Amino acid sequence: MYIYNVTSNVSDAVHETWIAWMKQEHIPQVLSIGTFYEAKLTRVLIEEEMGGQTYSVQYRAKTREALDTYYSEFAESLRTEAFKKFGENVLAFRTELEVIDEYSVTK
What amino acid occupies position 5?
A: N
Where does residue 16 rank: exposed (0-12), middle (13-18), buried (19+ CB within 10 A)? exposed
Check which CATH number belongs to the domain holding 58 and give it: 3.30.70.100
pLDDT of residue 51: 82
Say what the pTM is. Answer: 0.90
71: which DSSP letter? I
What amino acid occupies position 44?
A: V
Does the residue 54 lie in any domain?
Answer: yes
Distance between CA atoms of 46 and 104, rounded to whole angstroms?
26
Total domains present in the chain: 1
Does the residue 103 lie in any domain?
Answer: no
Distance between CA atoms of 106 and 25, rounded to whole angstroms?
35
Contact 56, 44 (CB under 8 A): yes
pLDDT band for position 94 (cuts 50, 70, 90)? very high
pLDDT of residue 9: 95
Does the residue 104 lie in any domain?
Answer: no
Does the residue 28 lie in any domain?
Answer: yes
Does the residue 14 lie in any domain?
Answer: yes
List pLDDT tens digits, range 4-49. Answer: 999 999 999 999 999 999 999 999 999 999 999 999 999 999 877 7
Does the residue 45 lie in any domain?
Answer: yes
Distance of CA 54 to the CA centre of its chain: 11
How many residues make up the chain in this entry?
107
Torsion angle of C-alpha atoms 58, 61, 25, 9, degrees rounded to 10: 30
Does the residue 107 lie in any domain?
Answer: no
Does the residue 39 lie in any domain?
Answer: yes
Instruction: Evaluate if residue 59 carries a pLDDT over 80.
Output: yes
Range of the domain at 72: 2-98
